[in-house]
Amino acid sequence: MVICNNKYNKEVSVQMKFKSAKGITMVNLVVYVTCFVIIAAVVGNLTVFFYNNSEILDNEISAASEYNKLNLFLVKESEIANNKFDDFYTENNNSLLVFSNGDTYTFDKDNGLIYYNNMCICEFASDFNVTTEYSSGKEIVNVLVKFNDDNISYKTAYTMK
């Protein structure tokens, strides 16, 4: 109720009627739905981005883990006194790395596995190559291992004692 004075100083009461504002209008509903769709699209795109990158990261972590296992065995070989690189050759699609103490590393190219004396120590390898060189009277064995169809590779030089 509003009370106002007119030019004759008489109070007149005027009741103003307001339209009832119950619920939401169609315009509000469209705005809400549009905002929801935009937020869902942004969250969906971020989820896809992180999911794809997590697969890449998973492959890199898997390759690093497998190479670390192989690296531990090859470091042990290089630390053995008077242990020397004996031979590296390919036979029946398998590559063999042989040391003078009799330890043998076999790369099964068909299955992507590397064995240490018939014990599987590395999976998912796509290539395994070994070269040797001599520097300062020491034998250096260079090992190159590639993983996941050659996308990830590790090359390490081991100096034999």
What pLDDT does 60 receive?
Answer: 85
In a domain, residue 114? The reply is yes
What pLDDT does 57 receive?
Answer: 77
In a domain, residue 4? The reply is no
Chunked in runs of 10, what are the mean pLDDT values of the chain (161 residues)? 57 56 82 95 91 80 93 95 93 92 95 95 93 93 88 93 88
In a domain, residue 28? The reply is no
What pLDDT does 151 receive?
Answer: 80
- Read off the tokens for 66: 């497998």
What pLDDT does 59 receive?
Answer: 81
Q: Which domain holds residue 52?
A: 43-159
Q: What is the spatial distance between Cα 142 and Cα 157, in angstroms, rounded to a whole number?
A: 4
What pLDDT does 148 receive?
Answer: 79
Question: What's the pTM?
Answer: 0.67
As for how many domains the chain has, the answer is: 1
Strand segments, DSSP code E, in 45-148 are: 85-91, 94-99, 104-108, 113-116, 119-122, 125-135, 138-147
In a domain, residue 76? The reply is yes
Long-range contacts of residues 67-73, Cβ cutoff 8 Å, at least 24 apart: 67/122, 67/145, 67/147, 67/154, 69/121, 69/122, 70/114, 70/121, 70/122, 70/145, 71/154, 71/156, 73/105, 73/116, 73/121
In a domain, residue 8? The reply is no
Q: What is the spatial distance between Cα 70 and Cα 67, in angstroms, rounded to a whole number?
A: 5
Query: Token match 């065995």: residue?
Result: 73
In a domain, residue 124? The reply is yes
In a domain, residue 37? The reply is no
What pLDDT does 108 receive?
Answer: 95
In a domain, residue 110? The reply is yes
